[in-house]
Structure 1
Amino acid sequence: MNIFSLLERAIISDDILMKEELTAQCLEYCIQNEIRCDDDFTPLLFSKPSYASKCHIVDPRELPARKDFESKEGLATLVHAIAHIEYSAIDLALDAVYRYPDMPSEYKIDWLEVASDEIRHFKMLQSILTELGYKYGDFPVHCGLFDAAKHTAKNILDRMAIIPRYYEASGLDVSPQIIKKLDNKRKNLQVKKLIDALHIIYDEEIDHVHKGDKWFKFLCKEEGHKEGTEEQVYFEILERYQLLSKHRPHVNVEARKEAGFSCSEIKKLGAKECS
C-alpha cells in the first residue's frame, strides 16, 4: 500500500468524506506497518488549497468583521470562519506526513491522528452551519495557513515551529475568548452546539500543539542544536517569518504550559505572569 499516493489524493480532494476515508486507511496502515518511502518519491508542491473549488479566497483585510452573533447570518459567519480553520488544519496535518516521508512512524501516526481530529471538528461545525441554513463556501475565506505551509514546505523544523507551535497555539489563546463572548447566548440551540464544539476543539488542540512541540524539540536535537537552545531556535524562526510583531491581546498561559511551552517563552510572547 502506497500511503503517500493516498495522502496526495486526500490533500487534493475537496470532499470531506473522501478525506476522512483515506485518512482512516493511512492511519490504520501506519499503526500496523513500518512505512518506507521509495527513493524516487518527490512530494508535490501544491499550487492552490483543496478548498479553492468551494470557497472565494480573498485578502485577509477584505474579510468582513464578525461582530453580530444575534442573527443567523452573523452566527454563521463565525461558525464558517472556525470551520475554515479546521478544514485548513486537515490538509496541513496530512501534508506533515506526506511531505516529510523520512520521519519516524510515531510522527506519521501523530499527524494522521491530528488529521482525524480535525476532520471530526470540521464535520461538527459543518452540521451547525447546515442547521443555520448555510454551507462551507458561502462566505469568503483567506489562505493564510496554506501560504504558511508553502513557505515551510522545504524545512520541517520551520513547519513544526510555525504551524502547530505558532498558529495552532495562537488558537488556544483565542478560543476561550470566543466561548466567553457566546456564553450569554447559549439559550440559542445553535450557539449552545457551537460552544460545546469549541470546548471539544479546545481540549484536543492542546494535544495537537503538544505533538508539534514534541516533534519541534526532536528535530532541534536531530539537527544538532544544543540541548536548552530550543527556545532561541524557536524565536529565531518566528523572527525570520516576521511573526514576532503580531499583537496578542491575550496569552493562554495554562494551555500553552500544558502544550509544552516554557514560562520564558510564554512571557516573551506577551504574558505578564507565568509560574
Structure 2
Amino acid sequence: MYTNLRHGVFTFDHDTPVETFDTPSYASVAPIVRPREVPKRKRFDDPEGQGVLLHAIAHIEYSAIDLALDSAYRFRRMPEAYYADWVEVAHDEVRHFRMLEALMRKIGVRYGDYPVHTALFDAGRKSGGDPLERMAVVPRYLEANGLDANPKIIEKLRRYPPTPMLEAIVEALEVILEEEVSHVSKGDRWFKHFCEARGVDTAVYFDIVERYYPGLEQKNLRLNVDARRAAGFACDELKRMGAKKCE
C-alpha cells in the first residue's frame, strides 16, 4: 500500500466493514502488564539498563505502527492525502522499530523479552470512533509528549562516559525525534481539518484531552516548545500547557 501511494496508485475498499480489535498485535509476542509494572529505566551504562531502555522505546514505536495503520484503516471516505499521511507514518515507525531492534540484538535483547503495557493501544481503541478525537489524542497528545521526553532521555545518556552503544542509542533517538515532529505535524494538520469541517474551535483539543487525561492544563510540563511549534502547536496552546516562554 505504501508503494502504491508513493506512485499515485490508490486502492481502498471503503465499504468493507470496520473490524474492532480487542487485543493488540503484540499480545502473542510480549507479556502484558499494568504500566506501573513495566521495568523501570534506571542506569544506562550497562547492557541491562540499555536493554530496558531500548525495549521500552521499541514498544512505543511498535505501538505507533499499529496506531498509524489503524488510523488509515478505521476512518473511511477521507481525502486521499489523509491515507497517504498515515501509511507514510507507519512506514517511518517500522523503520524506527527496526533500527532499535538492531541495537537490542547487539546486547542480546529481543522484542518481547520484557513485559509491556497497553496504554497506547487502549488510547487508540477508545478514540477509534471519531477521527477528530483520534488526531487529538494520539498524534497531538501522546506523540507530542514524545517530543518532550526524547530530549530528556538524550540528556541523561550524555551524562555517562561515551561508548559506541550509548552513541548509537543517542543517534537513533535523534533520528526519531526529528521524524516524530513530522508525525505530530500530520496529526495537527488533520485535527485542524476536522475542526474546520465541523465548525468547531481548535480549543476543543483541551476538552478532548481532558476527558482522556485529566489535568493537562494543571501540569507543570517541561515542554519542547521548539519541536511543538514546528509541529503546529500555537503559543497560546503551549502556554495553557505550562510553557513559560513561546514566540
**Residue identity in the other structure for 2:9:** N
Question: Percent of aligned positions with the same letter in both sequences?
Answer: 47
Distance 1:52 1:221 in 2: 38
SS of 2:228 mapped into structure 1: helix
**Residue identity in the other structure for 2:143:** E
Give yes or no for the alignment of 1:158 onto 2:133: yes
C-alpha distance 242-249 of structure 1, shift in aligned 2 (>3 A):
closer
Residue in 2 aligned with 1:271?
243
**Residue identity in the other structure for 1:244:** G
- Give the CA deviation at 1:69: 1.1
After TM superposition, the structure 1 = structure 2 runs for residues 218-237 of structure 1, keeping only pairs within 5 Å, are: 218-225=193-200, 229-230=201-202, 232-237=203-208
Distance 1:208 1:103 in 2: 18
Distance 1:120 1:34 in 2: 22
Give yes or no for the alignment of 1:58 onto 2:30: no
Distance 1:38 1:117 in 2: 24
Which of these residues, 123, 130, 133, is aligned with residue 108 of structure 2? 133
Residue in 1 aligned with 2:46?
71
Query: What RMSD, in angstroms, separates the aligned Cα atoms of the two structures?
Result: 1.4
Distance 1:29 1:268 in 2: 41
The alignment's TM-score, normalised by the length of structure 2, stands at: 0.95
SS of 1:55 mapped into structure 2: coil
C-alpha distance 36-187 of structure 1, shift in aligned 2 (>3 A):
closer
Distance 2:47 2:10 in 1: 48
Distance 1:53 1:247 in 2: 36
**CA deviation map 1:72-103 (0-9, x unaligned):** 11111001000000010001001110001211
Residue in 1 aligned with 2:229?
257
For structure 1, the 5+ residue unaligned runs are 1-25
Distance 1:190 1:145 in 2: 28
For structure 2, the 5+ residue unaligned runs are none
**Residue identity in the other structure for 1:98:** Y
Q: How many equivalent residue pairs?
A: 245
Farther-moved stretch of structure 1 (240-249 vs 50-59):
240-249
- Give the CA deviation at 1:189: 1.3
